[in-house]
Structure 1
Amino acid sequence: MSTLSRSLSDVPEEGTFTPTSPHPDNYPYLSPIATSSASTLNAPSHSSAGSSSRSAGTKVRTPSIRTLGRSSNDNLPVPSGASSSSVKRNPSSSSSASVSSSSKSRKSTAPVTPSVPKYKSIPTLPHEKNAEAVPSTAMHWSRAPVYGNVPQRSMRAHTMTLVENTAWLFGGNDDKEVNKDMKDMYCFDTETMQWTVRETTGDIPPPCRAHTTTLVDKKLVVFGGGHGMQYYDKVYVFDTTTRHWTQPSVAGPFPTPRRAHSAVLYQQKIWIFGGGTGLNALNDVWTLDVSSFSRMKWEEVKTTGRTPKNRGYHTANLVVNLMVVVGGSDGKDFFTDVWCLDLDTRHWSQVTLLTSKYKRIAHSATQVGSFLFITGGFNGEEYCSEVLPFNLVSLTYEPRVTFGKPPSGRGYHSTILADSRLFLFGGFDGTTSYDDVYILDLAAGAYLPQVTSFNIELA
């Protein structure tokens, strides 16, 4: 196992970057918020990714790799013209205390407005009267006609886990939100498009984001993630049938607390790869034995072959017996590479690509038959909305034209495949968090999910 570790110190998770900033260690991950302490944390030197095309003084939205240890975007200006679908932020608990203390000497006259749950009783139709005609065989984006109890918390670096026809939303809390009670979980019905709220019991986990949620026998196994400057190494199990949380006793040794890692389930073990600690990106591999929820056990995996660089905010998908890793970043470089870990032999192999132009972090990757649909993310210069199908047989990207109105460019969203449609939930674009849901109709590609037998030939 490689022990190489690249520093990610003082990397804000989301923020803005001003190329003309006088800070000596200025580079596309540093925001003006972080400059006061950057010199003491050995921030990486300037990265040239996308810098040549930026004009002086232009603010560029930057991605999150803060696997990474600092509040993300406190005191950022509110962007003008922000989408009406974005989630409104509450001040953090620390700032609330500050405001309360400073205002004791004067009596507040502002009325207190109670929060009203967002409930839509009538679905919003996704189509328009003057919608452009498109080929019936083409993939088509539309905004989902959702209704019901729309989520009241951020949908950013969250997880959506499909159990039969219901997608369970967990996590995604913003640093600027007061720690919310996590006893309520939101569910989305992929057939009716209705949001509902389910109250839960038991050992309810704390607010978090950039965690992983793995489905095991109708149970959600949550590991890692964090909130603010906290990073977790705890495991929580949620039974979707009883709606009860447990924090099981797990035998060690334990992996380092982390966020922005990835997880896949294979042979009754959850395989964890990479992520970050707040100071360093990681490239280690661990397994969590979930064959018995009463006797769970961690084990560090010793791999062979050339190891991928340390990274966070990549994606990993289980394809037959391979864990396919796409993109990510170590806090300085944006990766275009694709790696496969054979979970039987525990050997790493790098895929030889015909192009290295598709840089991606904070994207999503959903297996659709013999393809991975890489959606959204940050490419080093801007947040994307395009869909990049990656052919798992030819090991090449096959870009396709989509029609309709795609979601705005974003990362930190979540996607699932249900009934030959790709659902996209929420996300963040550097300034705005979204609470919307989009649907990509596969049209002529609706047969793809039925392709279950194919071979991946690695050199």
Structure 2
Amino acid sequence: MGSLGGEVGRKKAMEMYPKVMEAHPSERWGHSACYFNGLLYVFGGCRGGVHFSDVLVCSLETMTWNILETSGSGPGPRDSHTAVLVGSKMIVFGGTNGCKKVNDLHILDLLSREWTHPECRGNPPSARESHTANVVGDEKMVVFGGSGEGEANYLSDLHILDLKNMEWTSAEVRGHVPAPRDSHSSVVVGDRLYVCGGDSGDRYQCDVCVLDLNRSIWSTIDGRGPLPSARAGHASVSIGTKASLFVSKPRLWFLSFASLSNNKLRAFADVFDWWSWGQTILRRHMGPRCDHVFLASARDMLSKVSRTIFSHSDSHKPWHSPLWRVRRG
């Protein structure tokens, strides 16, 4: 995606729309995705009132899609949930099944292809959708925000699942706590959780909030250059976590997609280097969208990111189902 140095300014990246050898999966939004062992796993989502419960798999080598045959009791139809990868296991939490918001947790072993529904100790987060979940060192899963049951019930609470003991705790935090929100994005880099944007009901957010996971203290950061406009329904990814051992700061990118301007929803497509806020120029344009996913496959993270994977959809017609790649220029 062009130079990831500290300079402020526009960077160039190569955006590709790879040829899929077979039919694309059904268009959807509010799905989740994980990358494991050369395969992209997509779970759930919604389109036109239909909630999906399938697991789709795309081989990034052959560019073919298939439906994964699984065993066990899965989550059922689900959208606006989260899915994180721990080892070979995809952990799905929360979301909505079309009738109500839920707070259950399911695990799909991507090797055995079996769903399990583990019993967790402690006090789990309340039912919610459009939250975020991130893994910290394969030991903890951090859940932040979302929208709970009822109307305009935006949340800013933080919950941590100990993945070894499968026990939930509610974190007591201090500092500049983010405003309640859903449809935000978040990434973990080292011992910090970065939360960007989101929908607070009366406004869209444009802030970047940082949680020190060791001290449980929230703060905000200001990047150099022009800030992105307020947005929600976007996606974020860190593509320099290991490379940050050799530089002063990690590189975090987010792909935008919805902004509230003059009380109207505006969609757009752009990519920013989180630290310099330098907008990246894409040589091809995939078009505006929201409620998509944005993943990085890190085959060679220490020297460069080999490719960044997009699987996306738009909650406002038309929906999208193609898979895009972006390579650094």
TM-score tier after normalising by the smaller chain length: 0.7 to 0.9
Partner residue of 1:359?
230
- Native 8 Å contact 2:289 2:314 kept in 1: yes
In structure 2, do the counterparts of structure 1 residues 224 and 429 end up closer, same or farther at CA, with 3 Å as the change threshold? closer
Partner residue of 1:166?
39
Partner residue of 1:126?
none
Q: How big is each residue's C-alpha offset from its partner over 1:61-91, in whole Å with a ceiling of 9 and x where there is no partner?
A: xxxxxxxxxxxxxxxxxxxxxxxxxxxxxxx
In structure 2, do the counterparts of structure 1 residues 373 and 353 end up closer, same or farther at CA, with 3 Å as the change threshold? closer
Secondary structure, counterpart of 2:211 in structure 1: strand
Partner residue of 1:216?
86
Partner residue of 1:350?
220
Number of equivalences: 295
- Residue 263 of structure 1 pairs with residue 143 of structure 2: no
In structure 2, do the counterparts of structure 1 residues 357 and 265 end up closer, same or farther at CA, with 3 Å as the change threshold? closer
In structure 2, do the counterparts of structure 1 residues 262 and 364 end up closer, same or farther at CA, with 3 Å as the change threshold? same
Alignment of 1:16-35 (within 5 A): none
Q: How many angstroms does 1:357 deviate by?
A: 4.6
More helix by share: 1
Give unmatched runs, 5+ long, in structure 1.
1-136, 444-459
- Residue 146 of structure 1 pairs with residue 17 of structure 2: no
Distance 1:175 1:298 in 2: 34
Find 1:246's aligned residue among 102, 113, 116.
116
Find 1:287's aligned residue among 150, 160, 166.
160
- Match for 1:402: what amino acid? L
Distance 1:376 1:170 in 2: 22
Partner residue of 1:388?
272
Distance 2:161 2:215 in 1: 17
- Native 8 Å contact 2:227 2:277 kept in 1: no
- Native 8 Å contact 1:306 1:348 kept in 2: yes
Q: How big is each residue's C-alpha offset from its partner over 1:302-361, in whole Å with a ceiling of 9 and x where there is no partner?
A: 011121100101111011110011100111111110011011111111113454452121
Q: How big is each residue's C-alpha offset from its partner over 1:165-187, in whole Å with a ceiling of 9 and x where there is no partner?
A: 1111011123522x55x3x4211
More strand by share: 2
Partner residue of 2:107?
237
- Native 8 Å contact 2:29 2:315 kept in 1: no
TM-score (norm 2): 0.85
| Largest Rg, 1 or 2 | 1
Identity of aligned residues (%): 24
Partner residue of 2:30?
157
- Match for 2:296: what amino acid? L
Alignment of 1:7-406 (within 5 A): 138-148=12-22, 150-152=24-26, 154-174=27-47, 176-177=49-50, 182=53, 184-267=54-137, 268-278=139-149, 279=151, 280-291=153-164, 295-354=165-224, 355-369=226-240, 370-380=250-260, 381-391=265-275, 396-404=276-284, 406=285
Q: How many angstroms does 1:261 deviate by?
A: 0.6
Distance 1:320 1:254 in 2: 24
- Residue 426 of structure 1 pairs with residue 296 of structure 2: no
Secondary structure, counterpart of 1:254 in structure 2: coil
- Match for 2:272: what amino acid? L
CA RMSD of aligned residues (A): 1.8
Distance 1:148 1:296 in 2: 40
